Amino acid sequence: MIWEPITFEKLSLEISKGEKEMSSENFFK
């Protein structure tokens, strides 16, 4: 379907964004 790659991209972006936030949180702690 057309929406699948879009949601997958958004999901990947959200995951990578969350990982960056988590690593920065761990870095400051």
Reported as a single tens digit per residue, the pLDDT across 1-29 is 566 667 888 888 888 888 877 766 766 65
Give me the pLDDT at residue 15, please: 85
Give me the pLDDT at residue 26, please: 65
- Backbone torsion region of residue 26, taken as left when φ is above 0, otherwise alpha when ψ lies between -120 and 50, otherwise beta: alpha
Give me the pLDDT at residue 7, please: 80
3-state secondary structure of 5: helix
What pTM was computed for the model?
A: 0.44
How many C-alpha atoms does 23 have within 13 Å on its Cβ side? 6
